[in-house]
Structures are given as structure tokens and as C-alpha cells.
Chains A and B, each alone.
Chain A
Amino acid sequence: MSLNEHTPVHHSTTEPDRSTEFTTFMRAYQDMVFSTAARLSANDGHAEDIAQEVFLRAFQHFAQLRASPTAGGWLKTVTTNLTLNHLTRYRKRWRLFSDLRKTAADDESSSPEVDVSVPDTLLADLGAEQRRALIDEALRKLPQHQRVPLVLYHFEDMSYEEIAIKLHASLAKIKTDIRRARAALLPHLESGGIAADVL
């Protein structure tokens, strides 16, 4: 994982070695932590708050994490859990008002089956950063109940079963949501204008 090239932070502490080590540790993982939180939450401000909380917890366990080969996995798990907690806590109360129309539209009976023409490659003629920006924007436009399982499946490499357990939903619903999220992602990518020739 690439290190960030931010200006070093100078801070007074009684354990300079530990702080230096933690700075290095943080720079190695902060992009991954922030990406995970941002893609799940679709909100950069919340993602930064979550990333801050993740690293504060990491600092508390730094004695174990500093030499652990599974530190990245630990950070990813904590980030995922904190983001899901955040989404549950802050969005659930508004679901009644915000998702009524979407829920009705996404109803099993009213939604057509996925029928898309699938290209062999996607955004192949774009640079990595352009592609990243376009896909992140497309993910941001997905409704939460589709985006979250899609991100967990494709970015966090979780299985359908693991996602169903994590989100307290049925396996069938998770599979349906992910399938629809994939189908919904394609038009968003096409609407970016650049993918049209590829698709």
C-alpha cells in the first residue's frame, strides 16, 4: 500500500518513538481506512470522522498492532463495523421519510429482472484516477440498501452469507440488492459520458 506524502505532523509526547511509529503506521493505512468508510457511507465528512475514531482505537491497541501482520485486516474490520453502526444509528430514524418512495420502487413485485448487455471491459480507456472518481460517484448515487452490500461484496471480499449476517438481512434480499446494485451501477457509469463507447 502506498504511503501518503502529507506534511509530517510534529507533536509533543512523552513517547516520541511510539508516536513516530504510529505516524508511519497511520500513513500506511489511512487511505484504505478512509476509502472503506467513504464507499460504505457515501459521505466524506462522516468517513473522516469514522477514520479518526478507527485510528484512535488503533492507538489504544498499538502495542499489539504495531508488529501484527493482520493489522490491516483489524483496521478494515473496525472501519466496516463503525461505518455500519454509524449508518444504522443516523439513517434508520429517517428511513420512514427518505426511503418510502425508493422502497416501493424497489419492491420485489414491481421491479423488473436484471437484463443488461454486459461489455467485456469497463472504462478501459480511462486512467486509474479518472476511473476511481467515476465509480466512486456512481456508488455514491446508489441507495444505501444497495450500495452497502455491493461495497462489502466487491471491495471487502465478503461472501453473500457473511454480508447477510453482518446486515441482519436474509440471504435472498442481499443477493437481490447486490444484483440490482450492479445493474444500477452500469447506467450511472454510462451517464458519465466516457463509458458510452465502451458499453
Chain B
Amino acid sequence: MEFAAVVLPHLDAAYTLARYLTRNDADAQDVVQDAALRALKYFGGFRGTTASDGRAWFLAIVRNTAHTWRHQQHGGVGVTEFNEELHSDHVAPTDPVAAVDLRKAVDALPLEFREVIVLRELQGLSYKEISDVTGVPVGTVMSRLSRARKRLQEALT
């Protein structure tokens, strides 16, 4: 497969993911451009054969680039490690503004919940693909997805 055939068809998906991870259009564009550059660099290592292989592969690069971007933005300060227990269902009452707008509610989710929601609900990836993109086990994908949905439902009501 050619680089163009692997990356270009998934630019909308890449931008969507980056947009939700950075919460900002300009940064999302920077992240996708940088991810594309990285994708070029690592393209020799891409072993996929189908379009969805390419999507998961490219989205994983976008996701990692966005995480690097986030650490650079915060200079490593104030970025607390995600803790499955700490970020359970009992923290933070729903933001009243978020309740009005579902999209804002997605933006208000912790990063680790946001990415699984975007990958599943907006882009229709399978659990296995989400696991490949995020690098966390399928079981963790399932529990994060379930908790993220619970929060969004609270925002809906």
C-alpha cells in the first residue's frame, strides 16, 4: 500500500480525534500534520493490508502525537497520571454547561474517557482496534467506555 492510500482517506478521522484530544482547531491541525510526518517516517514498518488497518495505525500515531503535545503544553506539570479508581463514577458533579451541549460534555470528559468515546461513537472502531490505538487492554477499553457513557448520560438528563 502507498502512504497516500493509507493516510489520506483517514484525515477526517485523524482530525476528529485530534480535535477532541486537544479541544482546539489550530492545535488539532498541528497534531495531525506532525502525526502525518511521523507516519511517513515509520511507514516502512506498516504491515497492514486493509483500509481499517491503515486507520487504526494512523490513529494510533495521531493519538500518541496528541499525548506528547499535551505533555509539552503542560510541561509535565499538573498532568496527573490517569487513575482508574480515582476517575471512577463518583467524582465531579456534572458541569451544568455541559448538560446543555452533548459535545461540550464529551469535551469535559477526562482524556482517557474522551478518546474511547470518540473512537467508538464517532468513528465506529471495534474494541480490538481501540485497544490497538490506545495501547490499553480490551478489558480496560470496555470499562472506560462504560464509565464514559455513564457520564454522558448524566449530562443528557
**A is bound by B:** no
